[in-house]
């Protein structure tokens, strides 16, 4: 595995661990949605952190209720990332 891919993977694992242990619905240090702050309505990405937190805990129904597009896009993003890693395993 290249150094770049290892760094990306390590960052993703760290971010997932933070999201697993700290609930965005209750922890106050996650950034607020600027779209909602200024316009008063939820943006298409609202709920994605809370949905990802629920998904990491195995609560698929709650994650689906919070953000449907995220759950639809995650398998595609994972497949693209895996193909990228498998296609170029030795690039620096």
**Long-range contacts (CB closer than 8 Å, 24 or more residues apart) made by 43-47:** 44/69
Digit-coded pLDDT (tens) for 3-29: 877 888 899 899 999 989 988 888 777
Task: Give Cα separations from 31 to 4, 57, 69, 86, 87 (angstroms).
Answer: 27, 21, 20, 34, 35
pLDDT for the residue numbered 92: 53
Residue 88 has pLDDT above 80, yes or no: no
Digit-coded pLDDT (tens) for 31-76: 788 888 898 887 777 788 889 999 999 999 999 998 898 899 999 9
């Amino acid at each position: 595995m290249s150094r770049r891919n290892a760094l990306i993977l390590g960052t993703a694992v760290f971010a997932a661990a933070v999201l697993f242990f700290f609930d965005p619905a209750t922890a106050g240090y996650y950034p607020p949605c600027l779209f909602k702050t200024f316009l008063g309505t939820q943006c298409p990405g609202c709920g994605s952190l809370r949905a990802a937190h629920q998904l990491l805990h195995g609560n698929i129904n709650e994650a689906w209720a919070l953000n449907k597009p995220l759950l639809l896009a995650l398998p595609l993003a994972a497949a693209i990332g895996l193909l990228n890693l498998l296609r170029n395993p030795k690039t620096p």
